[in-house]
Structure 1
Amino acid sequence: MDNTKAILVVPGTMEIKPARVPMPNEDEVLIKVEYVGICGSDVHGFESGPFIPPSDPNQEIGLGHECSGTVVGLGAKVKKFKIGDRVNIEPGVPCGKCRFCLEGKYNICPDVDFMATQPNYRGALTNYLTHPESFTYKLPDNMSMMEGALVEPAAVGMHAAAKAEVTPGKKIVILGAGCIGLMTLQACKTMGATEIVVVDVLEKRLELAKKLGAMEVINGIEEDTVARCKEVLGSLGADIVFETAGSQVTARQTPLLVMRGGKIMIVGTIPGETPIDFLKINREVVIQTVFRYANDYPTTIQAISKGGFDVKSMVTHIYNYKDVQKAFEESVNCKKDIIKSVIKMKK
């Protein structure tokens, strides 16, 4: 078996290099990668370098963490899988020993080894990779490999909706209709919510939000977001407001949209400081941040498999592995046109 890996040589330049085929440890599987999704964090890494730069300037930087593939090798103690199984992976491997792991909140483990970042900066853009059996999941027969790769961002939406305790009857506003906003929309739908308003500034995204089940969509440039949301949902506002755009502008709108006793869920990564007028939310409003996911893969896989969670419609661009440089360049330069890009690893 021949292997290669795509490496970020310098910001703005990816290069495919030869690599050895890794040997699985006794509790790991060897996976032949088939699809890799391009995440916003990958695009940031391509443009500017990793969020957390490595301490060693000679450290190779791999990108990609949303992936699926086929099991082609087994460690000596692997029991759940066999050669030929179609799988995807949960890309963060926690320590399993700290307080947070033992409480089941392994997504906030301070020593997590998350792909394409510290400590190993190991990316999924490679022909073969190894991964622990315990963080590898078998795909249902009716789920495509591309859908399998998109379980990772879908799980972010499922985790956010679960943390917000979405139930039927809840009134919801989602600020941002990028990939994570649309995943959050669909997660809320799977949990029974129907009164969902989605806000964005790009019509292409709003059209897809409507197709995926939003009750109403609002263009934040053309309309007064707060006034329009309250016109649709009622003067009290929303039970739950999800900020998924990662923008200070939308973050500042959240206190104006949430009702008394409601919840503000910060899903996006918001840079800098965002002033909050606490007088506007001092009626038992909860503000909560959300980080990745924990114990959400099985539920997410099931939701996609049953057809209630449409990740395929979100894929606007598919690239071949050999065109990885083009894939990232267009992810930077064509952000208005791209909702979700994936890279097909197999010829």
Structure 2
Amino acid sequence: MMRALVLTGPGKAEVQQVPVPVAAAGQVVVDIDRAGVCGTDVELFTGEMSYLHSGVSSYPLRPGHEWSGTVTSVGPGVDPSWTGRRVTGDTMIGCGRCRRCVAGRHHVCPDRHELGIRDGLAGALAEKLAFPAAYLHALPDTVDAGTGALVEPAGNAQRCVEAAALATGERLLVLGTGTIGLLTAMLARARGIEVHLLAERPEFARSLGFGDTWTRGELPELPWDAVVDASNGPSLPGLAVSLVEPGRRVVYIGLSGTPSMIDTRDAVLKDVTAVGILGASAGLAPAIAAFASGAVDPRPLVAGTVGLDHAADILAGRRPAGSSPAPKILINPAAR
């Protein structure tokens, strides 16, 4: 048996003894070194996550989709050279057969698993994880365990930067300074893009060198060549359309808890392109490369690391004593 975090109902989470996974055909078993807690995990914990209402997710549920670890065994049909390698993996696991998967869009496969989110594949907030080898990504030695657990949110951020379609020297406005918003800013800055951020509390972002971080009342009237909405504010999707330069792009990755409104007249009359981002899949490899090269150092985004026994407290919004104002808490399943 091994220890794993189990969500048993809205607002209920506990560490349970569960069977140690065995690598089935096409799978590996990974010893988890670090796992991140993100907003999706919190929504699954509170019961607010839309998947719980649509029926694709249900309790009991084992969460965790941001992770790094070491492969300890491989199943039939898997290259044995994976054994002993440090890895992370894609959250989106497609069926591999449908027209979307065949076209390279497995992240929107109608029958996909989402690790630790949708039913069917237990997550990484556990000592060990069974995971399909086809969706593994090797981590180089220059990417430590904590940084490896940030690859998944960085892959989402990478896709945001790509979707913004900006050239060096152009101006990006990022709405929201959570983990994905800040990683988007870091990756864009590494490309020579002029980055501005909108934040309710700008101090932490400014401490990372983003001097052009503004509250809503401070935001200057500048031409914004692209806007990324990485917030959960229901009014900000519409604000993004109103702020972006005509003929340019708005990228949506944040989700509000209530429906958000966009005036399509603004989008049409400004000839705005709106792009939605679901999942990190196509961004994982370039995110790893950015971390490995040192172009982006995400470690200041980690407020602290705690053991699995403290994961329920983190989901409930209780931050560990002595943690920094950074947005990300990591879990070390081996720690007590």
TM-score (norm 1): 0.88
Task: Give yes or no for the alignment of 1:214 onto 2:201.
Answer: no
Task: Give yes or no for the alignment of 1:248 onto 2:234.
Answer: yes
Within 2, Cα distance between the matches of 1:57 and 1:147? 28
SS in 2 for 1:6: strand
- What's 1:326 paired with? 313
- What's 2:292 paired with? 305
- What's 1:182 paired with? 182
- What's 2:156 paired with? 156
Within 1, Cα distance between the matches of 2:302 and 2:31? 22
Within 2, Cα distance between the matches of 1:307 and 1:56? 38
Equivalence map 1:202-281=2 (5 Å): 202-208=201-207, 211=208, 213-214=209-210, 216-220=212-216, 223-225=217-219, 228=220, 230=221, 233=222, 237-270=223-256, 271-276=258-263, 278-279=265-266
Within 2, Cα distance between the matches of 1:319 and 1:124? 15
> Match for 1:199: what amino acid?
L
Tell me, which stretches of 5 or more residues in structure 1 are unaligned? none
Deviation at 1:128, TM superposition (A): 1.2
Within 2, Cα distance between the matches of 1:313 and 1:24? 35
List per-residue Cα deviations over 1:47-74 (Å, max 9, x = no partner): 2254312859984211111111111101
TM-score (norm 2): 0.91
- What's 1:20 paired with? 19
Deviation at 1:12, TM superposition (A): 2.0
Within 2, Cα distance between the matches of 1:301 and 1:314? 16
Q: Which 4+ stretches in 1 moved above 6 angstroms? A: 332-336
- What's 1:341 paired with? 329
Deviation at 1:296, TM superposition (A): 1.9
Deviation at 1:121, TM superposition (A): 5.7
Within 1, Cα distance between the matches of 2:270 and 2:81? 51
Equivalence map 1:133-144=2 (5 Å): 133-144=133-144
Within 1, Cα distance between the matches of 2:56 and 2:128? 25
> Match for 2:52: what amino acid?
P
Within 2, Cα distance between the matches of 1:31 and 1:295? 22
- What's 1:76 paired with? 76
SS in 2 for 1:53: helix
Task: Give yes or no for the alignment of 1:46 onto 2:48.
Answer: no
Contact 1:60 1:121 in 2 (8 A): no
Task: Give yes or no for the alignment of 1:316 onto 2:315.
Answer: no
Deviation at 1:167, TM superposition (A): 2.3
Equivalence map 1:104-143=2 (5 Å): 104-120=104-120, 122-143=122-143
The size of the alignment, in residue pairs, is 332
Deviation at 1:255, TM superposition (A): 2.4
SS in 1 for 2:3: strand
Within 1, Cα distance between the matches of 2:249 and 2:70? 41
Within 1, Cα distance between the matches of 2:20 and 2:121? 17
Identity over the aligned pairs, expressed in percent? 23
Contact 1:87 1:136 in 2 (8 A): yes
> Match for 1:77: what amino acid?
G
Tell me, which stretches of 5 or more residues in structure 2 are unaligned? none
SS in 1 for 2:166: coil
Equivalence map 1:278-289=2 (5 Å): 278-279=265-266, 282-289=269-276
Within 1, Cα distance between the matches of 2:59 and 2:158? 34
> Superposition RMSD on alpha carbons, in Å?
2.5
> Match for 1:266: what amino acid?
Y
> Match for 2:314: what amino acid?
A
Contact 1:255 1:281 in 2 (8 A): no
For the structure 1 residues 129 and 333, does the alpha-carbon distance in structure 2 shift closer, same or farther, using more than 3 Å as the test?
closer
Deviation at 1:329, TM superposition (A): 2.5
Residue range with higher mean Cα deviation, 144-153 or 104-113: 104-113
- What's 1:295 paired with? 282
